[in-house]
Amino acid sequence: MEYKVLNGRNLNQLTGLAPGRLLEQLKEQSVRAIAAVDKEPVALLLYRRGGSEESAELLWIYVKGEYRSLGVGDGLMKAFFDGLSKDGIREVEGRIPENETADALQLFLNSYGFRFDHTLSYELYRNLGELGESGILLGSRPQPGCVAAAAVKEKDILDFLGSLEDKEVRERLKKGFDRIEWEISSVLTGSKGIEGLFLVLRHEDGLLEPFLLELQRPGDSNRLKLVKNSYSLAHSACGAGQELFLSCRSPESARLLDLLFPDLGPLKVRRGILRIKPLQTM
């Protein structure tokens, strides 16, 4: 059995080993692939660099049925960790689709040090054109009371963000702040200043990802305003073919996702974290 790093030129060999949308990203080198090859690829691991230089995301791992329990998965993980070590990665986030193999895969990743919480994430890959054909976003236009974040004073935005008391939100902001697309992000304004903020990130591969939605007074109507406004801004700036990655964990965000895209079927995903200790030097 050989373990090889593959790219977009090998796409036709990998059909059936991972979802098509993940494989398509191999063409743009945003996703990296490690395959176990026995004359042809029989197992596949996909990952990409994360939001910081020292983080990565384990997106997919799959072994064909007849090759399971033969150490092939362990071989993939060894090749994966070798690559992480060369890249100086210190933190890996693992993603497991919620299906009939989820429990077994979680046990496998637990054996390598991943720790999973009990919160499901909801994820969706679509382009802006597809989203615009679905439900509430159909015909979205700039929303009353909303403006592009780029049009608001940076100090006002930082003051609003500084008022957030959620420690997890603050940590996420630190990791993603430099990649925020201010021209596409939206601010909800009122008589007392900023009342809500919807931030959108751009990944290295050009993929857009809604990142943070915060309101002074929570409510679906204001959430929808911010999302519709940013969708309109993104559609005008990037066009219908722009790829978008949607992910949420909180019950409120999951409800909003179901409300926005009732027919698109977001994927339920378990998430786990592995923190890699630096090698000790003598």
- Alpha carbon 96 to its chain's center: 13
Of all residues in the chain, what percent carry a pLDDT higher than 70?
Answer: 82
Extract the runs of DSSP E, i.e. beta strands, from 155-242.
186-190, 193-202, 208-215
- Residues 142-159 have a mean pLDDT of 90
pLDDT in tens, 50-71: 766 788 889 899 999 999 999 9
pLDDT of residue 75: 96
Distance CA 57, CA 269 (A): 13
Q: Any residues with CB less than 8 A from the CB of 172 and at least 6 apart, and which?
A: 211, 212
33-36: long-range contacts, CB 8 A cutoff, minimum separation 24: 33/5, 33/6, 33/7, 34/3, 34/4, 34/5, 34/6, 34/76, 34/79, 34/80, 34/83, 35/3, 35/4, 35/6, 35/10, 36/1, 36/2, 36/3, 36/63, 36/67, 36/72, 36/75, 36/76
- Residues 239-262 have a mean pLDDT of 72
What are the C-alpha distances in Å from 69 to residues 73, 210, 282? 8, 39, 38
pLDDT of residue 49: 78
- Are the CB atoms for 231 and 131 separated by under 8 Å? yes
* 252 DSSP β-pair partners: none
Instruction: Name the maximum alpha-carbon separation found in the chain.
Output: 67
Structure token pair of residue 109: 């990743």
161: pLDDT strictly greater than 50: yes
pLDDT of residue 264: 59
Which range, of 123-127, 180-184, 245-249, averages the lowest pLDDT? Answer: 245-249
The more confident residue out of 206 and 30 is 206
Mean pLDDT of the chain: 82
Which of 207, 274, 276, 172 has its CA nearest to residue 31? Answer: 207
Read off the pLDDT band of 133 (50, 70, 90).
confident
- Residues 173-180 have a mean pLDDT of 75
Which range, of 69-73, 106-110, 119-123, 219-223, averages the lowest pLDDT? Answer: 119-123
pLDDT of residue 220: 75
pLDDT of residue 135: 63
Out of 16-20, 41-45, 96-100, 202-206, give the one with best mean pLDDT. 41-45
In the chain the domains, ranked by start, together with CATH numbers, are 2-120+271-275 (3.40.630.30), 125-268 (3.40.630)
142: pLDDT strictly greater than 60: yes
- Residues 23-49 have a mean pLDDT of 86
pTM of this structure = 0.64
